[in-house]
Structure formats: structure tokens, C-alpha cells
């Protein structure tokens, strides 16, 4: 069964550094998403991406964040200058239409 994959599983970085989180969505899916879950809190929407552009983004997704689909298979989330409060689990998801989404296993980002 096809699945969404994410790398790395755990990323440790220092405050102010740039990080790139990588995702490989399910191959025939057209919509791509990033969510995050701060420890003990709700899963929060960050951004959705369709047809090579952002469809929607949340208030969290400020100028420090960007997304890219550099080729036909990868979908990346970049944080330009990480803050302590960016420490969270980041989930990538994909879907064929803008409905049921399939999630990857997540990348745990720790900012020190």
C-alpha cells in the first residue's frame, strides 16, 4: 500500500539555523500539506499546496516558512531561522482531492 514518507525522523538544530524537512507524498496525489503538533497540543494546519502554489496557509506560516515541490516526487518545508517555539512534530500529508488526507510518520524537530 502506498504511503507518505518523511525524512529525517528526528532533526536537532540550533536556534537561528535553517532546516529543511522532506516528504515524499503518495505518487498520484495532487494536494500536499504540512501540519505540526507541539508536544501535548493539537495538530495544527500550516499550509496546503496544489498545482505548484500555496492554496491556503495559517497564521503560523509566516515569512520564516516556505514550501517547495522541487521535482515530481518531493515536497519540502523550509524554516529559515528556527526559534525555540518551532520545536514540534511536523507531519506531511497528501490527498488526491481536497478531502481525505494520508499522513507521513512525522519529523520531530528539536530546536536548542
The footprint of other proteins (CB under 8 A) covers 4, 31, 33, 35, 41-45, 48, 50, 55-56, 58, 91, 93, 95, 97-106
- CB closer to other proteins, 18 vs 97: 97
- CB closer to other proteins, 44 vs 69: 44
- CB closer to other proteins, 20 vs 38: 38
Q: How far is the CB of 18 from other proteins (least distance, A)?
A: 24
Q: How far is the CB of 89 from other proteins (least distance, A)?
A: 9
- Nearby residues of 107 by Cβ (< 8 Å), 6 or more positions away: 6, 7, 8, 9, 10, 11, 21, 89, 90
Euclidean distance between CA atoms 62 and 58, whole angstroms: 8
Q: How far is the CB of 5 from other proteins (least distance, A)?
A: 10
Nearest Cα residue to 77 out of 3, 18, 37, 28: 18
Euclidean distance between CA atoms 48 and 83, whole angstroms: 22
- CB closer to other proteins, 79 vs 106: 106
Strand partners, 70: none
Amino acid at each position: 500500500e502506498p504511503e507518505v514518507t518523511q525524512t529525517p525522523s528526528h532533526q536537532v538544530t540550533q536556534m537561528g539555523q535553517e532546516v529543511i524537512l522532506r516528504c515524499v507524498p503518495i505518487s498520484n496525489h495532487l494536494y500536499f500539506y504540512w501540519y505540526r503538533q507541539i508536544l501535548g497540543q493539537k495538530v495544527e494546519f500550516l499550509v496546503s499546496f496544489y498545482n505548484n502554489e500555496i492554496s491556503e496557509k495559517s497564521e503560523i506560516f509566516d515569512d520564516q516558512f516556505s514550501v517547495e515541490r522541487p521535482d515530481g516526487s518531493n515536497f519540502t518545508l523550509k524554516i529559515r531561522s528556527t526559534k525555540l517555539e518551532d520545536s514540534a512534530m511536523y507531519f506531511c500529508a497528501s490527498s488526491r482531492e481536497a478531502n481525505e488526507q494520508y499522513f507521513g510518520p512525522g519529523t520531530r524537530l528539536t530546536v536548542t
